[in-house]
Amino acid sequence: MSQRKPYPSDLSDARWALIEPTLSAWRKARLDRRPTGQPAQVELRDVFDALLYVNRTGIPWKYLPHDFPNHGTVYAYYAAWRDEEILAQLNYDLTGLARAKEGRKPEPTASVIDTQSVKTSTNVPLTSQGSDAAKKIVGRKRGIITDTLGLLLAVTVTAASLSENAVGIQLLDQAKKTYPTISKSWVDTGFKNSVIEHGAKLGIDVEVVNRNPESRGFHVVKRRWVVERSIGWIMTHRRLARDYETLPGSSEAMIHIASIDNLAKRITDETTPTWRGTY
């Protein structure tokens, strides 16, 4: 790590110890494939801290402070980790550790699904956007599936016009492939028979959880509150307040980064600093 004044989003030594082995193994594999075998000049911890800074503050890449590595270098690492699914792998590994810390088995058996439609920025291609008529939002739809602790198991980002059923089917496929042990999932009333039937084919019992029609206003809904809380967790990362990413895959990667940040703090019992009174 370079000698600079730390930012609130920087990794602690304990959290870096959780992430470093995966990134170092990735770099070694890359260097072994280089014809020259020359070592890289940038510190991986500085790169990941820069990613957390972008993710937490919501700034454009070119606005990275100058005491981080060059924004082009940071983006190149980010794109490689996105495309080679290193960020997804980190999320998987940390989820297992977080579950074990809570006395659970690393592989979950139950899950909860929800979606969120968000507006997009001007740089997002029209071809990857759509209109969510129910929520009156033009943009993209995020679908996430979590375990019963609210830990991210799978994520997909699509045009907001895609139906809940189509998103739910994608999430069930992803989750079952990554976690074959899943046999139960709870969804809200936006998901219909096609999701239930698809889940049955995968060996997953999909249950629709209805709101209590006699309760007015906000009230906690059984099981569904877990995934809704998880959406709230990732929304504390300002890059996710709106979808700024050109590629849907980049949107998914930004959600993985937010999840990795939260998971590492959960495992090490660290808290997220607020933006008031930090400096």
Instruction: Copy the structure tokens of residue 30.
Output: 């890359």
Closest CA to 111 of 210, 206, 252, 229: 206
The string of pLDDT tens digits covering residues 218-271 is: 555 677 889 999 999 999 999 999 999 999 999 999 999 999 999 999 999 997
Look at residue 39 in the predicted model and tell me its pLDDT: 65
Q: pTM score, two decimals?
A: 0.91
Please state which architecture CATH assigns to domain 106-245: 2-Layer Sandwich (3.30)
Confidence bin at 86 (pLDDT 50/70/90)? very high
Average pLDDT over residues 5-9: 92
The string of pLDDT tens digits covering residues 30-66 is: 888 776 656 667 999 999 999 999 999 999 999 999 9
Tell me how far apart the alpha carbons of residues 163 and 167 are, in angstroms, rounded to a whole number: 6
The string over 122-146, giving b where at least 16 C-beta atoms fall within 10 Å of a residue's C-beta and e elsewhere, is eebeeebbbebeeeebbbbbbbbbb
Closest CA to 111 of 189, 180, 190, 157: 180
Average pLDDT over residues 169-182: 96
Each domain of the chain, given as residue ranges in start order, spans 106-245
